[in-house]
Structure 1
């Protein structure tokens, strides 16, 4: 079963912990921004940011940075915010990372607890030809303008790596889902790596060997407190829409030349195959239906980029040949991939 866009209209707004905005007001003022206009337009009060564990509306959070970029005439304000954002400023999620024993454990803990930090968001690790990617993307269709959030978020995550590997560490490559901005040269300077745009998600590439590095601030006692707090906030498995979204996002991140099996996704989510199946049945969900929805969603995303050949799209979605993909696409949209592209261009 898919999650059509209209389903989100009846859901409560996605939330993010206010720790993600720590220091934003100071940066806006430094760039000549008017806080009353920026926060007023976003519908956020400064008092909402006083506690790092209070919740703010994710759409308003994104709008706050988009408004700040426009009002200060600094299109890279999100990039600059993330570049200087220390992991501990992320609050409980940041401490979950830096109090872990290794970078590998820190990233996995971030992946586990991310839904408790920010809702309707895809966050996880992907393997691709020996290279690992940390992928991030807001999946709530009610939030179309999210360039600033993407850039600040990857900057934050990059600093988690630098906390373990040193301030001179750089990713192998950085990708963003939004179009290339006019002042894109600053992105390569900020990350110290090649940066490409118009990709299917926002992601950092790194070497597998990076994961073995120990976290300098490893603190089991601190982690036990963070874990208890984040687990108390995690309600994903109790909400069928949220659970289906999490599963669909994990499938999308694992899709490639092969199709992830139910057991593969269960393992990523940290539960057994039978428990995963039981939870799907409890919510009236089918793994195959969610898989089809994930392929459909990714197919439409790829089709928007005319530079990606149809055969490449088919392979990226786990189809062995173009004809199989074409049949599936016709079932989804009522037209062939070729005609869909012609209609989209016109």
Structure 2
């Protein structure tokens, strides 16, 4: 099941808080660009960037970095921006991360409250096996097509959340981007310190399960208690079925294993009662089983990219007791068998 808007529906533009662009003018000037010209070409006023709580159109934000890359003739502009971006400069969502007790809690808080920071986008973790996880990020607003610079700066920002907890020398196991490969990936591999692949389904990087246990050095329960109401309020204002479905689906993906998680397990992880989660699912027009199926489909496509992962192992990881059950489900999703899909 996909949560795209109905073709005839009028969908409001997705937005992002201006805090995500903190320091962009200075970087443009560092690379000898004309900030006023670049901002004017993408319909952003300089004053729009002065208040971190201002909302920018996500399309304008993405175009800002694409235009900066074009005018400065630096196609790695977003990569440079994300590399130096400290989590606290993200504003409320950044402070929610660094004030959390552990890296696991930081990522969970960012995932839960990401809709308060940026609309129509997904942020979450995917478990590959008992030891390897992936942090995944993607804009799912199909109206936004210029995404390379945003993807590279965003993955750099998220990398720095990990380095806040694990130290500046920490590196992921592998990095993936959905856009096509540039002329050279040397600088990408240098900044991330890991192999980088392009043309993948989403933007993501892999890390070890033990990394999640790292303590956040600036954990501050009091600060988090101040920030959380603001983030909750913004989530309630901006919440839509896509954001809600993404949050629940991401948690289901993390818990999938021999047996699919129950609604009670997911409710406990999200900090709500079973009845509350059931009520919210009804309000958003989705069922828990639909979200389980969507999570299974997404993970199945992810696992099938690994040629060394046997189909029986994939079925087991998705909670199917038999390969035949997984094959039937996969045919329902894609119209073809897992074996044929992998060969294609």
TM-score range, shorter chain: 0.7 to 0.9
Secondary structure of residue in 1 paired with 2:127:
strand
Q: CA RMSD in A?
A: 3.5
- Note closer, same or farther for the CA distance 1:182–1:272 as it changes in structure 2 (3 Å cut): farther
In structure 1, the partner of 2:88 is 88
Q: 1:210-249 deviations in whole A, cap 9, x for unaligned?
A: 2333322222322221122212212179644432343345
Offset at 1:185? 0.9
In structure 2, the partner of 1:125 is 125
Contact 1:96 1:106 in 2 (8 A): yes
What is the rounded CA distance, in whole Å, between the counterparts of 1:15 and 1:210 in structure 2? 31
Offset at 1:207? 2.4
In structure 2, the partner of 1:244 is 245
Q: How does 1:1-346 map to 2 (within 5 A)?
A: 2-6=2-6, 10-130=10-130, 131-235=132-236, 239-248=240-249, 250-251=251-252, 259-293=260-294
Offset at 1:35? 2.3
Contact 2:252 2:266 in 1 (8 A): yes
What is the rounded CA distance, in whole Å, between the counterparts of 1:47 and 1:322 in structure 2? 57
What is the rounded CA distance, in whole Å, between the counterparts of 1:179 and 1:319 in structure 2? 34
- Note closer, same or farther for the CA distance 1:76–1:261 as it changes in structure 2 (3 Å cut): farther
- Note closer, same or farther for the CA distance 1:318–1:221 as it changes in structure 2 (3 Å cut): closer
Offset at 1:304? 11
Q: Which stretch has the larger CA shift, 333-342 or 98-107?
A: 333-342
Contact 1:200 1:302 in 2 (8 A): no
What is the rounded CA distance, in whole Å, between the counterparts of 2:5 and 2:297 in structure 1? 13
Offset at 1:319? 6.5
- Note closer, same or farther for the CA distance 1:227–1:307 as it changes in structure 2 (3 Å cut): same
What is the rounded CA distance, in whole Å, between the counterparts of 1:302 and 1:102 in structure 2? 28
- Note closer, same or farther for the CA distance 1:149–1:264 as it changes in structure 2 (3 Å cut): farther
Q: Which stretch has the larger CA shift, 287-296 or 333-342?
A: 333-342
Secondary structure of residue in 1 paired with 2:190:
helix
What is the rounded CA distance, in whole Å, between the counterparts of 1:106 and 1:337 in structure 2? 35
- Note closer, same or farther for the CA distance 1:324–1:8 as it changes in structure 2 (3 Å cut): farther
Secondary structure of residue in 2 paired with 1:235:
helix
Secondary structure of residue in 2 paired with 1:10:
coil
Q: 1:12-59 deviations in whole A, cap 9, x for unaligned?
A: 111111110001111122223232342223221111110111111112
Per the normalisation by structure 1, the TM-score is 0.82
- Note closer, same or farther for the CA distance 1:265–1:232 as it changes in structure 2 (3 Å cut): same
What is the rounded CA distance, in whole Å, between the counterparts of 2:90 and 2:190 in structure 1? 23
Secondary structure of residue in 1 paired with 2:207:
strand
Q: Which stretch has the larger CA shift, 290-299 or 184-193?
A: 290-299
Q: 1:284-319 deviations in whole A, cap 9, x for unaligned?
A: 322233444556677789999999999999888766
- Note closer, same or farther for the CA distance 1:11–1:265 as it changes in structure 2 (3 Å cut): farther
Structure 2 unmatched runs, 5+: none
- Note closer, same or farther for the CA distance 1:176–1:272 as it changes in structure 2 (3 Å cut): farther
Contact 2:125 2:250 in 1 (8 A): no
What is the rounded CA distance, in whole Å, between the counterparts of 2:10 and 2:342 in structure 1? 31
Offset at 1:260? 5.0
Q: 1:150-170 deviations in whole A, cap 9, x for unaligned?
A: 111111111122222221121
Per the normalisation by structure 2, the TM-score is 0.82
Structure 1 unmatched runs, 5+: none
